Amino acid sequence: MTTKKSEESSKEFKRPDGRKPNELRKITAKVGIIPNADGSAMFAVGDTIAIAAVYGPKKMHPQHAQNPEKGSLRCNYNMLSFSVTERIRPGPSRRSTEISKITEWALQPVVMIDEFQANVVDVHINVLQANASTRCAGINAAAMALAHAGIPMKSLVQSVSIGKLDKHLVADLIKEEEDWEEGEGATDIPITLTQEGKISHIQLDGKISRKQLSEAIELAKEMSKEIYEAQKKALKDVGEEK
């Protein structure tokens, strides 16, 4: 119901690339792209391409980071220097450090690795090409790679960026929309949902009312279905290849 309302209010609103407010860019998903890894996946939405590889469970190094009570999940998000128009200095940054942790939190509710005491499951995410919503693409790829690696999971997760441009809610932001300046400007809300519809990750930058935020979450829920189908199809396809 709420999504319907937001659609109505955005009726005359034109997105820069002509998409409908609840239209994702084209999704391409593939599993099994890194032969060395225990599990790997690519998730692309439009021009944003993220890949993820899973190694483990394996003994945690350094040893002092081991948790004797349960297994750990360790995510590492990185953008290639040439993934954006202005070269990024290679190596970790404050931004990538935060996104790595956010990704970990987004995935932790669904991975069941408690019994791998003192072990770690490493998830390496790399953005090959960026046009906004990279952390969402990274989380979607990571979920698929974990499933591909056979890590016990309650379900996959789906991540999508919802934006408020001026007063209008839209799904899956592109760079041009992230930099929106007209009216109330841009509010960027990346959201990750579990299969149960619970929120495992949400961030927000901008300005939004409580009512519209609820609508944004509803929109994310609606969008997650399409992402789930793409993830499921890619995982099935690789299963059949074997």
Partner 1 sequence: MKMIETSPLTAERIKEYFNQGKRFDGRKLDEFREIVIETGVSKNAEGSARVKIGKTEVLVGVKMDVSEPYPDSPDKGNLMVSAEFLPLSSPRFEAGPPQFESIELARVIDRGVRESKFIELEKLCIKEGEKVWTVFIDIYTMNDDGNLLDAAGIGAIAALKGARIPKYDEETGKTQFGEWTTKNIPLAKDIPISLTVHKVGNSLIVDPTKEEEDISETRVTIASCDGTIHSMQKGNSKEISIEEFNKVLDLIEKAEREIAKKIEKALK
* DSSP string over 130-162: -SS-HHHHHHHHHHHHHHHTT--BS--EEEEEE
Question: Site for partner 1 (CB under 8 A): which residue of 68, 85, 94, 241?
Answer: 85
Please identify which residue in 4, 17, 20, 58 interacts with partner 1, judged by CB under 8 A.
Answer: 58
If the CB atoms of residues 142 and 165 are measured against partner 1, the closer one turns out to be 142
149 token code pair: 């690696």
> Of 22, 78, 194, 212, which lies in the binding site for partner 1, with binding defined by CB under 8 A?
78
Between the alpha carbon of residue 80 and those of residues 30, 51, 91, 163, 222, the distances in Å are 19, 11, 9, 25, 31
Q: Does 38 bind partner 1 (CB under 8 A)?
A: yes
Select the span of 11-19, 52-60, 201-209, 223-231 touching partner 1 (CB under 8 A).
52-60
Determine if 84 is a binding residue for partner 1 (CB under 8 A): yes
Q: Shortest Cβ distance from residue 119 to partner 1 (Å)?
A: 10
CA distance 103 to 135: 8
**Coil, strand or helix: which one is 175?**
helix
Block residue for tokens 């239209």: 23
User: Given strand 48-59, what is the order of strands in its sheet?
Assistant: 27-31, 39-45, 48-59, 119-129, 72-79
- Say if CB 48 and CB 133 are below 8 A apart: yes
CA 66 to the chain's CA centroid: 27
Residue 177 near residue 170 (C-beta atoms within 8 A): yes
Residue 90 binds to partner 1 (criterion: CB under 8 A): yes
Neighbours of 69 (CB within 10 A): 8
By CB under 8 A, residue 93 contacts partner 1 = no
Counting contacts by CB under 8 A, is residue 197 touching partner 1? no
* Secondary structure (3-state) at 32: coil
With CB under 8 A as the contact rule, which of the stretches 9-17, 18-26, 127-135, 211-219 interacts with partner 1? 127-135
Residue 76 in the binding site for partner 1 (CB under 8 A):
yes
Q: Is 18 in the site for partner 1 (CB under 8 A)?
A: no
Q: How far is the CB of 139 from partner 1 (least distance, A)?
A: 15
Q: How far is the CB of 185 from partner 1 (least distance, A)?
A: 21
CB of 39 to partner 1, least distance (A): 11
Binding region for partner 1 (CB under 8 A): 34-38, 40, 47, 51-53, 55, 58, 61, 76, 78, 80-87, 90-92, 122, 124-126, 128-130
